[in-house]
């Protein structure tokens, strides 16, 4: 927001000349961008493993995790959460590491909302 000068009329500043006063503006802080974390379907990762991932890393109950797993299975991918960049990045890394340690090719990615 630009600074707006306020003009005084003669006599207001005591010497009869014109003077300008600058007012301070307050800039609003913007919220950081959010990122969607997505799980992608593959033909090898067991459905039960995907449900376990959703419960463990995304705090879903069994029914929620099962529904999201079915969405991934039927549609090829699903958004499993929306987070700040750092949290999304950490979730993706956790899921990918956990899947690799269990020898599953599950893919997890993130994209700007």
In this prediction the pTM is 0.74
What are the tens digits of pLDDT across the range 14-57?
555 556 676 777 778 888 999 999 999 999 999 999 999 999 99
Q: Does the pLDDT of residue 1 top 90, yes or no? A: no
Q: Which two tokens stand for residue 74?
A: 């039927």
Q: Counting Cβ atoms within 10 Å, is residue 52 exposed (0-12), middle (13-18) or buried (19+)? A: middle
Look-up: residue for tokens 């529904």? 67
What are the tens digits of pLDDT across the range 68-106?
999 999 999 999 999 999 999 999 999 999 999 999 999
Look-up: residue for tokens 């090719």? 105
What's the confidence (pLDDT) of residue 10? 52
What's the confidence (pLDDT) of residue 6? 52
Q: Does the pLDDT of residue 111 top 60, yes or no? A: yes
Look-up: residue for tokens 């600058």? 22
* DSSP three-state, residue 63: helix
CB atoms under 10 Å from CB of 70, counted, come to 14
């Amino acid at each position: 927001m630009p600074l707006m000068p306020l003009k005084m009329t003669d006599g207001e500043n005591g010497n009869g000349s014109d003077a300008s006063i600058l007012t301070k503006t307050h800039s609003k802080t913007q919220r950081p961008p959010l990122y969607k974390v997505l799980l992608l379907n593959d033909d090898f990762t067991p459905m039960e493993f995907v449900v376990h991932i959703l419960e463990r890393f995304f705090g879903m109950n069994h029914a929620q995790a099962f529904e999201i797993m079915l969405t991934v299975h039927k549609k090829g991918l699903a958004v499993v959460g929306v987070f700040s960049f750092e949290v999304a990045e950490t979730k993706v890394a956790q899921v990918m590491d956990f899947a690799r340690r269990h020898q599953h090719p599950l893919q997890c990615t993130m994209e700007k909302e």
